[in-house]
Amino acid sequence: MGKRLTLVLLLTMNSCWAADDIALWNGFSMTPGAGLRHLGLDITRKSDNLGGNIAQDVAAKLFFTLNIESPKYRFGNSGWGISIINQNSFVTLDSQWYSYDGTSTNGERINVGSEVKGRYSYLVPQIFYETGRPGSGSFKVALGYGLWNANLSGTIKLTANDTPSIAGPATDVTVNTTKMAYLFSMSYRSGNNWIYEMSVGGPQFDDAGFKYKIEEVAITVGKTFLF
């Protein structure tokens, strides 16, 4: 009788804990965070094929981000599932390649008098694989493809060989658009909901006479709040 009672109590506790797991893991989550990133913007003017790359120096500026994730739908008891991620951030790009001798090999990335600023966001359905349990940490790998929205403006210096000079003319840039983009991430969430994440993403598109390509690699640390 004692053994049966013990077994019933253990099964009851386990089922209650599993129900808490479902609520804890499958609700909305919000993660404000900060980190370092490389974000590069390649621009080519289609009329004359002049181009340039303007970027954010990885170590120069800390950036802040806000991620909101929908409730997760899981495929049975496996670690596979789907959700929707909304990622938001501001950006300042002010570094272009400055050549000492007119080549792309002898020089450095500096501010040559150009700057692009603004904000962007992802709204991406994603498929993920997640291991671990609440309170003891988890690891997640996710890949998504969805909407990328940006409002960026400023100037960039375009040249034939992407070697702008400080005295050279600058071209006005305005990006106010929504395009399709991918977003890949790997993250570890600790038992107390601190999250450490690496993400890679960015779109490629044509708009108003220019070709754009954006590449982003970011490492962030944030605190996840569950709802």
H helix and E strand count, the chain: 1, 14
Q: Report if residue 8 sits inside a domain.
A: no
CATH number at residue 94: 2.40.160
Which tokens in the block code for residue 60? 């120069």
Sign of CA dihedral 96, 201, 131, 32: positive
Q: Report if residue 118 sits inside a domain.
A: yes
Whole-angstrom CA distances from 205 to 118, 119, 157 are: 18, 17, 19
Q: Report if residue 5 sits inside a domain.
A: no
Query: What contacts 24+ positions apart, CB below 8 Å, involve 128-133?
Result: 128/72, 128/80, 128/81, 128/82, 128/83, 129/79, 129/80, 129/81, 130/79, 130/81, 131/79, 132/189, 133/21
Count of structural domains, the chain = 1
Residue 77 region, left (φ>0) first, then alpha (ψ -120 to 50), else beta?
alpha
Q: Report if residue 22 sits inside a domain.
A: no
Q: Report if residue 4 sits inside a domain.
A: no
Q: Report if residue 20 sits inside a domain.
A: no
Q: Report if residue 139 sits inside a domain.
A: yes
List per-residue pLDDT tens for the chain, 227 residues long. 444 433 333 333 333 334 334 434 568 999 999 999 888 999 999 999 999 999 987 666 788 999 999 999 988 888 899 999 999 999 899 988 888 876 667 778 888 889 999 999 999 999 999 998 766 789 999 999 999 999 999 999 998 887 787 878 899 999 999 999 999 999 999 989 999 999 999 999 988 889 999 999 999 999 999 88
Q: Report if residue 171 sits inside a domain.
A: yes
Parent domain of 59:
29-226
